[in-house]
A and B are shown apart, each in its own frame.
Chain A
Amino acid sequence: MIKGIIKKFPALACLILLSQFRFIQLDGESLTSPIDVNDIKTPVAPAFTLLGIEPTSIDQPKTPKAFVLSLLNARTQDEFLPRDYAMMAAPYWLSPHPTLTFDDYYKANIIQTIRQTTVVSLATSRMQGLDSLSQGTNLGFGLNALLVQGKVDPGIWTLRDTINTIQDSILSLIDEYTVIPPEISVIIDTLTLRIKARAVEIQSMDKVRKGFRIELAGGAIAGFPGDKFNEGRITHYGLWLLPAYQLKNPALDLICLGRYIRVESDTSNYYDIGGRIVSTTSDFTISGEFIFRLIKQNAQSDNVYRVNVTAEYRLNPSIQVIGSFGKNFETSKSDLIAFLGVNLGFGQIPVLRLNK
Chain B
Amino acid sequence: MTTKSDETYVVGQGRISLSVMIGNAQIGSSLVKLDEKEIGRGNINNLPIGNGSELVGKVLSIKTIVSDVSDKTNLLTVRYALKGGKIDKSYDLREEVAEEGDSTIFRTSIVFSN
Contacts and interface: CB of A to CB of B under 8 A. Distances in A.
Contacts of B99: 196
Interface in B58-94: 63, 65, 67-75, 77-79, 92, 94
A1 B63 CA distance: 43
A163 B63 contact: no
B92 A199 contact: no
A192 B22 contact: no
Nearest to B26: A102
Given A98-B92, A102-B26, A196-B101, A203 B69 contact: yes
Contacts of B79: 98-99
A101 B23 contact: yes
Interface secondary structure of B, over-half rule: strand
B63 A175 contact: yes
A349 interface: no
B69 to A, nearest CB: 4
Given A163-B27, A200-B100, A203-B100, A90 B72 contact: yes
Contacts of B68: 199
Interface stretch (A165-173, A282-290, A340-348): A165-173
Nearest to B94: A96
Contacts of A116: 72
Contact of B69 (A63, A90, A100, A202): A202
Contacts of B100: 196, 199-200, 203
A104 interface: yes
B75 to A, nearest CB: 6
Chain A residues touching B, majority SS: helix
B24 interface: yes
B52 interface: no
Nearest to A105: B25
Contacts of A172: 31
B71 A101 contact: no
A267 interface: no
Interface in A302-351: none
A197 interface: yes
Interface residues of A, number: 36
A196 B102 contact: yes
B24 to A, nearest CB: 5
A174 interface: yes
A168 B103 CA distance: 13
Interface in A93-142: 93, 96-102, 104-106, 116
Given A197-B101, A203-B100, A167 B67 contact: yes
B21 interface: yes
Nearest to A96: B77
A4 to B, nearest CB: 24
A274 B3 CA distance: 53
A206 B69 CA distance: 10
B102 A171 contact: no
B113 interface: no
B71 A102 contact: no
B44 interface: no
Contacts of A101: 21-23, 25
A160 interface: yes
B27 to A, nearest CB: 5
9 contacts: A93-B72, A96-B23, A96-B77, A98-B23, A99-B23, A99-B79, A164-B27, A171-B63, A175-B31
Interface of A: 62-63, 90, 93, 96-102, 104-106, 116, 160, 163-164, 167-168, 170-172, 174-175, 192, 195-200, 202-203, 206-207
Interface of B: 21-31, 41-43, 63, 65, 67-75, 77-79, 92, 94, 96, 99-103, 105
Closest 6 CB pairs of A and B: A196-B101, A105-B25, A199-B101, A98-B23, A167-B29, A199-B69
Given A101-B23, A199-B68, 9 more contacts: A96-B94, A97-B25, A97-B77, A100-B24, A160-B69, A171-B30, A175-B63, A198-B69, A200-B100
